[in-house]
Structure 1
């Protein structure tokens, strides 16, 4: 499938504080995320949007990803259920720290709550709070939700690169159930024999 990937960036911090998340939503910032939970969030949020590149990762690959210094997660929840997540990952470059919004998205229970904009504002503000930050950036692509790129641009991230590639992706999204480890087809029911 032909996939268009856009890189967006900001080189100046926001001038206004982030809006609060909607009533009934709590924004958690766990101090440690294990590989199992990181993989769950990736599949839970990305399953409906064809996020598949990391589904085959080993636990060690997830550990390596999470071990990058400064990696952090922000997880909105309501009634104890995650509504989405943000993963920030800083990288020290010659001119300072470049913070990637590595993953950002809402799961089905988080959609339609007015959460996307405020969550992204919190992510950007927290990225700029990392000492030495000179750039905050993100990739989004034509496989992501239709609101992704407009949300980034509305929060001050500007397009700086476009790339078109041919990718091996499923014809249809796998869905959160399969992407989080559920079986791909109907479960067989075993019945006792008499």
Structure 2
């Protein structure tokens, strides 16, 4: 299957504040996430969209990924359950800090509830304010990759929040005909 990956970036913080969430939804910052929970969130959000490249990772690979200084997760909850998340990972550059929105998305149960835009707005704001919480150098760029294997609203949502496409790349990937789903992606048996 041909997969199109688009890189988007933002070079200045947004001028408007993020929209609030409904009263029954909260967003929690997690500066230290266990490898188990990070993998669970990845599978919960990505299972319906062909996110499979990290499902085979060892626990040590997850530990190494999460060991990047100032990495943050912002987890959206409703009724005590995770509804989505934003994974932010800073990278030092010669112009300050570039913060990658490493992963972002909603669980299937949260799609269609108007939460994706506000969650991304809060995630973008958190990326720009990461130095205030962690002491890293000032942020000069917030960026993300999205691809045609992500949810159908992903690219439009990034653009609507002010991220601008800087390039795209096509690759041929061996992808299953259908996503494996959140159940299997979070460790449940197939079938």
Q: Map 1:85-100 onto structure 2 (within 5 A).
A: 85-100=85-100
Structure 1 runs of 4+ with >4 Å offset: none
- How far off is 1:23 after superposition? 2.5
Cα deviations across residues 128-152 of structure 1 (Å, max 9, x unaligned)?
1123100000000001111000000
Cα distance in structure 2, aligned partners of 1:108 and 1:48:
8
Q: Map 1:3-152 onto structure 2 (within 5 A).
A: 3-131=3-131, 132-152=138-158
Q: Map 1:134-173 onto structure 2 (within 5 A).
A: 134-173=140-179
- How far off is 1:74 after superposition? 0.5
Partner SS, residue 43 of structure 2: helix
Cα deviations across residues 77-123 of structure 1 (Å, max 9, x unaligned)?
01110001100000001111000000000001211211011100000
> TM-score, length-normalised on structure 1?
0.93
Unmatched tracts of structure 2, length 5 or more: 132-137
Contact 1:52–1:169 (CA under 8 A) maintained in structure 2: no
Cα distance in structure 1, aligned partners of 2:130 and 2:51:
27
Contact 2:76–2:85 (CA under 8 A) maintained in structure 1: yes
Contact 2:9–2:142 (CA under 8 A) maintained in structure 1: yes
- How far off is 1:22 after superposition? 2.1
Which protein has the larger Cα radius of gyration, Structure 1 or Structure 2? 1
Farther-moved stretch of structure 1 (123-132 vs 153-162): 123-132
What is aligned with 1:190? none
Cα distance in structure 2, aligned partners of 1:90 and 1:32:
14
Contact 1:22–1:114 (CA under 8 A) maintained in structure 2: no
Root mean square deviation, CA, Å: 0.8
Cα distance in structure 2, aligned partners of 1:143 and 1:103:
13
Contact 1:83–1:107 (CA under 8 A) maintained in structure 2: yes
Contact 1:44–1:176 (CA under 8 A) maintained in structure 2: yes
